[in-house]
């Protein structure tokens, strides 16, 4: 008995040790969901974070201020609990976060801060007659199961504003398109909403209670779908819910009088004190009777002044004029059906203007059509959708003078909330940086920078240029201590470059929200440095179309625990020749006992360079050759390359090689393969005429590749003096007859002990002929036929004949033998 127990303890100990062993080298954690989906500001709540590889979680990185983690408990490998404090001043709406563990960084997920206390949805509430009773000014956290309908009952007084706003698709959990309605106690729908311009698929409804009594809020998926992941946060209360702000932009640093439009109680007038710095999407929450809506309206803070429309301006002659010179912004509302607004502005010849309508981008229902006219009212240019549903034109004035522009709705719709803003600005060079999509779904793959201590990690960075060209250098800002970045510039004509991050062996384990700076290297482009701007895809709908994506402005990097392997490129001493190939050597340094297969992939192929998608370093090996080839006609220049290595250590762990040099040079030898033909079983000469642009140093080997089966040609050796290579092509009676294209001559020369391989005469052709069937008259002499074709090659000294010469010779021979061809 005792021994038994000892055994058990022993075994338990071993199991424990094994667990430790397998979790030492872990990949980045995976974060699937955060529950609850939100909290009330000014409170403290417990969050449950579900995922994979969470056992070594160290912190939760919140991108926005206002939420702090006071306690982090690891429940198990798949769950972490966090006690968080939401500051009273925390911004309402979406907060983004990732989990950082000792070994990596998770996906981005969201958490929502609201103004109201949270109430959990309680089933059964799927029938109108049995709703869940709730108070006003609460947030319900619920789930719409498949074909589920949730009903909530509130009590309201006559004249009281009842608003319901849902966060569903916005939560980023699932393709859940909600529908919200307010019904009276007799089942009459007072207001319903499916999709809204302000919240896209999400919805809000507002009514003024017609009398004292109960009202029912209905929530369902718009087409009776739903499921376990179809979670929502439903805010029900007396809060204001404007649809837009007019004007929806204003000059930075100034106090701007605005109207919040579309609230059920009518427009709300306010004066906004705008920040000093311009902002593309400034979020504004209106305060009305001490309440704000649960989510903001959108506003543009611009470095230029406003011009407001003056109705009537439905015709060119009543156009609202601007006394200002660009840049400035016109503001207006397409207030009713078939409304069209005209504006007049001054412009200078050849001083190109960017004319941008902001409507849908400001969540206005307007689908604008922008038209520009000359002073006489003749149309010059028109655009509907170049800025998404918004309109955009680059207008190059043909002469100094006055011009007109008009804005209308594409379907000639209109309404009090069809707000828009037309910004007239001058073109300005700009650049933004982002990590390109790494493959299929989920597209959050490798969008963060976890760098193991004493190791490297690499990514491509895409530079999106506007109104400029030229090289862009990339620099990093706010990386964790002990981490540095080595980046190749994004060269003119391309848009991506490899970037390698390296962490010191003694760097502290820590994560940080950093940034990248893209700097145009063209000295004529000034003040146009760009930063990191990543769009994170959260929800996909039918046909893998993106339904919800959110922008983030931080590059998240972390120093993680040591990885069990490291890889390095053995930098080639010889160049890659156009039309040539190379085997790039990659060596792996394995930690004692690490036996995983290391999968390698080129992070970046310079233009024209092709490679296998990936190759493996087998478990028992420490190196591999990565075959590269180079196309014809690509620029000769030096590139930086890097190779990523990954291995499955309870999930994929990624490291990178150093940033290595690869030079592409023009071909040293050019040439062409002449056509050749042989009857089955015969031997023929195939000539490769060459021109040595760079004379061969020493001797080189030439090989004829691409021959069909049962056809051989011996390798030849050539020197600097050779002008042609003659291959003896040997066929057999089994050689397949027909035209065999795609032959090439591969020349391999050695420099600095490394081979330079290149192909010449690509596309050569060999024809193999089946012997003619013996003619009835000639059946007696079949042997001579073969003899006749082999003869020309036989006489010494061997003279290589062109195809034409051979044909002539054959003809003559045949004539001599009295054969009719």
CB of 225 to other proteins, least distance (A): 7
Evaluated on CA atoms 206, 211, 214, 218, the torsion sign reads negative
Q: Considering only the stretches 191-199, 252-260, 350-358, 627-635, report the one whose residues sit in contact with other proteins under the rule CB under 8 A.
A: 191-199
Task: Give the total residue count for the chain.
Answer: 821
Binding mask 517-556 for other proteins (x = CB under 8 A): ------------------------xxx-xxx---------
Residue 525: Cβ within 10 Å count = 20
Q: Considering only the stretches 219-227, 464-472, 549-557, 768-776, report the one whose residues sit in contact with other proteins under the rule CB under 8 A.
A: 219-227
Give whichever of 411 and 804 is closer to other proteins, judged by the CB atom: 411
Chain residues 311-350 in contact with other proteins, contact rule CB under 8 A: none
Chain residues 366-395 in contact with other proteins, contact rule CB under 8 A: 367, 384-385, 389
* Nearest Cα residue to 248 out of 308, 292, 197, 203: 308
Contact call for residues 408 and 341 (beta carbons, < 8 A): yes
| CB environment 556-569: b (16+ within 10 A), e (fewer) | bbbbbbbbbbbbbb
CB of 558 to other proteins, least distance (A): 34
Chain residues 220-249 in contact with other proteins, contact rule CB under 8 A: 222-225
CB of 121 to other proteins, least distance (A): 18
DSSP string covering 77-112? TTEEEEEEEE-TTPPSEEEEEEEEETTEE---EEEE
Per CB under 8 A, 402 contacts other proteins:
no
Give whichever of 541 and 607 is closer to other proteins, judged by the CB atom: 541
CB of 187 to other proteins, least distance (A): 13
Residue 791 to residue 181: CA distance in whole angstroms: 95
782-790 vs 803-816: helix axis angle to the nearest 10?
140
CB of 131 to other proteins, least distance (A): 16
Contact call for residues 329 and 307 (beta carbons, < 8 A): yes
Give whichever of 360 and 740 is closer to other proteins, judged by the CB atom: 360
Kindly tell me which residue out of 98, 231, 360, 512 binds other proteins, with binding defined by CB under 8 A.
360
CB of 357 to other proteins, least distance (A): 16
DSSP state of 303: S
Give whichever of 290 and 542 is closer to other proteins, judged by the CB atom: 542
Kindly tell me which residue out of 28, 40, 96, 201 binds other proteins, with binding defined by CB under 8 A.
201
Q: Considering only the stretches 218-226, 487-495, 615-623, 679-687, report the one whose residues sit in contact with other proteins under the rule CB under 8 A.
A: 218-226
Q: Considering only the stretches 396-404, 407-415, 449-457, 755-763, report the one whose residues sit in contact with other proteins under the rule CB under 8 A.
A: 407-415
Give whichever of 26 and 144 is closer to other proteins, judged by the CB atom: 144
DSSP SS3 for 487: strand
Give whichever of 194 and 754 is closer to other proteins, judged by the CB atom: 194
CB of 224 to other proteins, least distance (A): 5
Chain residues 137-156 in contact with other proteins, contact rule CB under 8 A: 147, 149
Tokens of 146: 């498949």
User: Pairing relation of β-strands 555-560 and 449-452?
Assistant: parallel
Contact call for residues 113 and 66 (beta carbons, < 8 A): yes
Give whichever of 128 and 594 is closer to other proteins, judged by the CB atom: 128
Kindly tell me which residue out of 167, 177, 263, 679 binds other proteins, with binding defined by CB under 8 A.
177
- The CA distances from residue 5 to 19, 274, 320, 341, in Å, are 21, 73, 92, 88
Per CB under 8 A, 200 contacts other proteins:
yes
DSSP state of 562: P
| Tokens 């200002």 -> residue | 324
Q: Considering only the stretches 117-125, 216-224, 666-674, 773-781, report the one whose residues sit in contact with other proteins under the rule CB under 8 A.
A: 216-224
Residue 451 neighbours by CB under 8 Å, 6+ apart: 457, 483, 501, 502, 503, 557, 558, 559, 560
Residue 543 neighbours by CB under 8 Å, 6+ apart: none
CB of 165 to other proteins, least distance (A): 18
Give whichever of 147 and 715 is closer to other proteins, judged by the CB atom: 147
> What are residue 416's phi and psi, to 5 degrees?
-60, -20
CB of 419 to other proteins, least distance (A): 16
| Tokens 């050849």 -> residue | 350
Give whichever of 173 and 177 is closer to other proteins, judged by the CB atom: 177
Contact call for residues 603 and 641 (beta carbons, < 8 A): yes
Give whichever of 40 and 201 is closer to other proteins, judged by the CB atom: 201
Per CB under 8 A, 195 contacts other proteins:
yes
Binding mask 681-710 for other proteins (x = CB under 8 A): ------------------------------
- The CA distances from residue 456 to 30, 122, 139, 459, in Å, are 21, 50, 45, 10
CB of 282 to other proteins, least distance (A): 22
Contact call for residues 1 and 135 (beta carbons, < 8 A): no
CB of 293 to other proteins, least distance (A): 21
- Count CA atoms within 13 Å of residue 548 on its CB side: 20
Tokens of 813: 């021979």
Contact call for residues 474 and 516 (beta carbons, < 8 A): yes
Per CB under 8 A, 107 contacts other proteins:
no
DSSP state of 200: B
Per CB under 8 A, 178 contacts other proteins:
no
* Nearest Cα residue to 818 out of 771, 790, 778: 778
What spatial distance separates the first Cα and last Cα of the chain, rounded to whole Å? Answer: 101
CB of 391 to other proteins, least distance (A): 13
Give whichever of 131 and 482 is closer to other proteins, judged by the CB atom: 131
CB of 540 to other proteins, least distance (A): 10
Residues of this chain that bind other proteins (CB under 8 A) = 147, 149, 177, 194-195, 197, 200-201, 222-225, 360, 367, 384-385, 389, 410-411, 413, 541-543, 545-547
């Amino acid at each position: 008995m005792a021994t038994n127990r000892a055994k058990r303890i022993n075994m338990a100990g071993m199991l424990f040790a094994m667990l430790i062993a397998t979790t030492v080298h872990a990949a980045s954690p995976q974060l699937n969901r955060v529950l609850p989906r939100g909290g009330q500001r000014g409170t403290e709540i417990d969050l449950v974070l579900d995922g994979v590889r969470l056992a070594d979680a160290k912190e939760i990185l919140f991108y926005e201020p206002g939420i702090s983690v006071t306690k982090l408990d690891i429940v198990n490998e798949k769950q972490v609990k966090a006690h968080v404090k939401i500051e009273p001043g925390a911004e309402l709406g979406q907060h983004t976060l990732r989990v950082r563990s000792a070994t990596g960084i998770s996906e981005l997920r969201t958490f929502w801060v609201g103004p109201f206390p949270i109430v959990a949805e309680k089933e059964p509430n799927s029938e109108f007659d049995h709703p869940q009773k709730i108070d006003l000014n609460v947030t319900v956290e619920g789930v719409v199961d498949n074909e589920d309908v949730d009903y909530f009952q509130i009590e309201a007084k006559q004249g009281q504003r009842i608003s319901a706003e849902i966060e569903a698709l916005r939560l980023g959990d699932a393709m859940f398109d909600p529908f919200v309605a307010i019904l009276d106690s007799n089942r009459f729908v007072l207001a319903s909403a499916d999709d809204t311009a302000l919240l896209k698929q999400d919805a809000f409804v507002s009514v003024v209670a017609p009398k004292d009594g109960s009202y029912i809020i209905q929530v369902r998926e718009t087409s009776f779908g739903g499921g376990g992941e179809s979670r929502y946060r439903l805010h029900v209360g007396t809060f204001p819910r404007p649809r837009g702000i007019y004007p929806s932009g204003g000059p930075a640093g100034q106090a701007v009088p605005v109207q919040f439009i579309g609230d059920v109680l009518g427009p709300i007038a306010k004066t906004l004190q705008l920040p000093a710095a311009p902002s593309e999407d400034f979020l504004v929450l209106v305060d009305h009777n001490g309440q704000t809506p649960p989510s903001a309206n959108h506003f543009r803070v611009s470095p230029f002044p406003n011009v407001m429309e003056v109705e009537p301006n439905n015709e060119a002659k009543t156009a609202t004029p601007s006394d200002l010179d660009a840049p400035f912004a016109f503001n207006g509302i397409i207030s009713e059906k078939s409304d069209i607004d005209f504006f007049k502005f001054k412009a200078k010849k050849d001083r190109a203007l960017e004319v941008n309508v902001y409507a849908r981008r400001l969540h206005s229902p307007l689908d604008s059509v922008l038209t520009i006219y000359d002073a006489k009212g003749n149309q010059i240019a028109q655009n509907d959708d170049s800025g998404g549903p918004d309109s955009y034109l680059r207008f190059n004035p043909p002469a100094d003078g006055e011009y007109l522009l008009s804005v209308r709705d594409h379907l000639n719709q209109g309404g009090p909330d069809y707000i828009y803003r037309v910004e007239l600005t001058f073109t300005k060079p700009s650049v933004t940086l982002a990590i390109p999509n790494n493959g299929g779904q989920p597209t959050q793959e490798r969008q963060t920078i976890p760098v193991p201590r004493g190791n490297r990690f690499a990514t491509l960075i895409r530079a999106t240029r506007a109104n400029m060209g030229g090289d862009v250098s990339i620099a990093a800002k706010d990386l964790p201590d002990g981490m540095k970045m080595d980046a190749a510039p994004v060269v003119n004509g391309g848009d991506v470059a490899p970037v390698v991050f390296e962490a010191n062996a003694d760097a502290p384990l820590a994560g940080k929200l950093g940034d990248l700076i893209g700097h145009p290297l063209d000295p004529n482009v000034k003040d146009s440095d760009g930063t990191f701007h990543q769009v994170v895809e959260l929800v996909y709908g039918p046909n893998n179309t993106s339904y919800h994506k959110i922008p983030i402005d931080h590059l998240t990097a972390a120093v993680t625990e040591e990885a069990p392997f490291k890889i390095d490129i053995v930098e080639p001493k010889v160049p890659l020749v156009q039309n040539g190939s190379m085997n790039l050597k990659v060596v792996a340094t394995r930690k004692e006992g690490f036996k995983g297969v290391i999968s390698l992939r080129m992070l970046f192929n310079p233009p024209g360079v092709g490679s296998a998608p990936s190759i493996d370093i087998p478990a028992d090996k420490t190196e591999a050759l990565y075959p590269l080839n180079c196309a014809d006609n690509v620029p000769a220049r030096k590139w930086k390359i890097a190779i990523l290595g990954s291995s499955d250590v309870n999930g994929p762990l990624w490291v990178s090689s150093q940033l290595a040099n690869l030079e592409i040079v023009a071909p040293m030898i050019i040439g062409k393969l002449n056509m050749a033909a042989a009857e089955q079983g015969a031997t023929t000469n195939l000539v490769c005429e060459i021109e040595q642009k760079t004379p061969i140093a020493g001797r080189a080997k030439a090989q004829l590749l691409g021959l069909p089966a049962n056809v051989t040609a011996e390798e030849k050796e050539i020197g600097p003096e050779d002008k042609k290579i003659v291959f003896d092509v040997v066929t057999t009676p089994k050689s397949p007859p027909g035209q065999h294209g795609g032959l090439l001559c591969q020349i391999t020369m050695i420099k600095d002990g490394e081979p330079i391989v290149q192909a010449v005469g690509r596309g050569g052709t060999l024809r193999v002929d089946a012997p003619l069937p013996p003619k009835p008259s000639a059946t007696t002499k079949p042997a001579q036929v073969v003899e006749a074709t082999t003869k020309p090659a036989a006489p010494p000294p061997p003279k290589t004949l062109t195809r034409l010469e051979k044909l002539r010779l054959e003809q003559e021979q045949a004539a001599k033998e009295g054969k009719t061809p």
